[in-house]
């Protein structure tokens, strides 16, 4: 298995190909590759991304079958099932890198802002569960001057939500904490721009 930094470089190179329109993965599936994976898998990165149809991780990073272990949920939130999925892949496959992939104009972020501005009485409890996990990242921003600039508010909230998810994964699981301490796992955040197609790993510092 490659190192976390090598995995990160592969993702960056794949995204650069995607942005340039030079993807090298002609199809996400081919018979030979499919058959080679029937006996097992060794994904080199775990992606916790948003369910948004415009942000498919394999395409954005120009990867194919068996390359990425992808978990998608609205707002790229961290809940027990997501943590368990990441623990499974990190331990079972030795995958060295976890990327929390948020994106511009995230619907879950917008829904949370709307809920904070005008609480809904009849919101589905399932949707509310998502909003409630995003809320701690967004609520402090509503008390700043950003509340008067919706575009900047959404952008800052998206980044805050990514940071919060990274922090939860780094400090909310004994298994992941151990793997990180042993140098076997790295958790980073990333932001995908719907406008440009670029992924910035701007949460590394």
Strand 97-103 versus strand 199-200 pairing type:
unpaired
Dihedrals phi, psi of 27, to nearest 5 degrees? -155, 150
Alpha-carbon Rg for the chain, nearest whole angstrom, is: 17
Q: Is residue 117 part of a domain?
A: yes
CB 189 within 8 A of CB 99: yes
pLDDT of residue 29: 61
DSSP assignment of 132-157 equals HHHHHHHGGGGGSGGGG-HHHHHHHH
pLDDT grade, residue 205 (50/70/90)?
very low
Give 6-34 pLDDT, tens digit per residue.
999 999 999 999 999 998 876 556 778 88
Strands 45-49 and 97-103: parallel
CB 158 within 8 A of CB 52: no
In a domain, residue 145? The reply is yes
Residue 178 lies inside a defined structural domain of this protein: yes
Boundaries of domain holding 95: 4-200
Residue 205 lies in a domain: no
Give the domain CATH number at 32. 3.40.1050.10
Q: Total structural domains in the chain? A: 1
pLDDT of residue 124: 87
Per the domain annotation, does 76 fall within a domain? yes
Is pTM beyond 0.85 here? yes
% of the chain beyond a pLDDT of 90: 80
Residue 102, H or E segment? strand 97-103
Q: How does pLDDT run across 74-129, given as a tens digit for each residue? A: 999 999 999 999 999 999 999 999 999 999 999 999 999 999 988 877 878 898 89
Q: Which residues contact 123 (CB under 8 A, 6 or more apart)?
A: 115, 131
Domain membership of residue 39 (yes or no) is yes
Instruction: Quote the crossing angle between the two packed helices 150-171 and 174-181, to the nearest 10°.
Output: 80
Nearest to 28 by CA among 55, 61, 73: 61
Confidence of residue 37 (pLDDT cuts 50, 70, 90): confident
Domain annotation covers residue 12: yes
What residue has token string 């079972």?
Answer: 92
């Amino acid at each position: 298995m490659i190192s976390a930094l090598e995995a990160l470089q592969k993702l960056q190179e794949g995204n650069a190909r995607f942005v340039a329109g030079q993807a090298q993965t002609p199809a996400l599936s081919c018979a030979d590759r499919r058959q080679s994976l029937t006996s097992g898998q060794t994904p080199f990165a775990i992606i916790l991304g948003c369910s948004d149809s415009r942000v498919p991780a394999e395409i954005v990073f120009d990867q194919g079958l068996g390359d990425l272990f992808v978990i998608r949920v609205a707002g790229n939130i961290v809940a027990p099932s997501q943590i368990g999925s990441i623990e499974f892949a990190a331990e079972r496959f030795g995958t060295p890198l976890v990327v929390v992939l948020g994106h511009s104009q995230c619907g879950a972020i917008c829904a949370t802002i709307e809920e904070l501005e005008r609480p809904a009485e009849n919101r589905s409890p399932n949707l509310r569960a998502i909003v409630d996990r995003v809320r701690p990242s967004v609520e402090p921003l509503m008390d700043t001057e950003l509340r008067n600039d919706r575009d900047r508010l959404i952008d800052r909230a998206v980044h805050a939500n990514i940071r919060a998810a990274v922090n939860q994964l780094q400090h909310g699981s004994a298994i992941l904490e151990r793997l990180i301490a042993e140098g076997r796992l790295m958790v980073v955040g990333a932001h995908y721009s719907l406008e440009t197609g670029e992924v910035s790993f701007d949460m590394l510092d």
